[in-house]
Amino acid sequence: MESSQAVYEALKEVGINFIVSLPCVNLGKVMELVECDPEIIHVPVTREEEGFGICAGAYLGGKKPAILMQNSGLGNSVNVLASLYELYHLPILMVMSHRGTEGEFMNAQVPMGKATPRVLEALEIPYYNPKTPEDAFEVIKNAWNQAQSNGTPVGILLDISYW
């Protein structure tokens, strides 16, 4: 299975039908697949925090939401994750390209890359770090079920080496 295809197929498998996104070079192909899918409402947003707000509204309206983002956007979203998602127990699947991991060519990505797992831990957001497309397919499917049954965001961190 190809890496981007695996992410997309898993989102489809669990019925994710509302996706907001901000681009990352590594997520480009997933975003194209999502954009071309008539069963998924795709909303490009201006900032990750805004995307989380939109997904919360979509969930209240009956959709199954996910966000495609770079891990840097986690820093833009800490308050909404705590005082909207945790407070009201709302689910969302967070598919994050994890920059600043092994193989990173830009030093500037390293600080937020290092902070990312600890920010998720501070927010008590469960997260997974699949290493292969086969692994990602299974993990993403289970992650949505976990998000929905527990009313929580669940993170998927996709390292540089994943792609």
Partner 1 sequence: MERIEAIKTIVESLKIELVICNIGFPSRELYQVKDSSTNFYMLGSMGMASSIGLGLAMAQKRKVVVFDGDGSVLMNLGSLVTIYNQKPENLILVVLDNECYGSTGSQCTYASTVDLSKVADAVGFQEKFFFSDDIDFQPVLNAEGPVFVHVKVKPGNADVPVIPMKPDEIKERFIKEVQEK
Strand order from edge to edge, sheet including 127-128: 41-44, 18-21, 65-70, 92-98, 153-159, 127-128
Give the N- to C-terminal CA distance of the chain in Å, as an integer. 12
Nearest-approach distance from CB 90 to partner 1, in angstroms? 7
Q: Look-up: residue for tokens 């994050």?
A: 96
Query: One symbol per residue from 42 to 81: x for binding partner 1 (CB under 8 A), - otherwise; what is it?
Result: -xxxxx-xxxxxxxxxxxxxxx-x-------------xx-
Following CA atoms 127, 129, 134, 137 in sequence, which dihedral angle do they give, to the nearest 10 degrees? Answer: 20
Query: One symbol per residue from 1 to 30: x for binding partner 1 (CB under 8 A), - otherwise; what is it?
Result: -----------------x------------
CA–CA gap between residue 43 and residue 37 (Å, rounded): 12
1 or 84: CB nearest partner 1: 84
27 or 56: CB nearest partner 1: 56
Rule CB under 8 A: is residue 38 a binding residue for partner 1?
no
Stretch that binds partner 1, among 5-13, 87-95, 106-114, 133-141 (CB under 8 A): 87-95
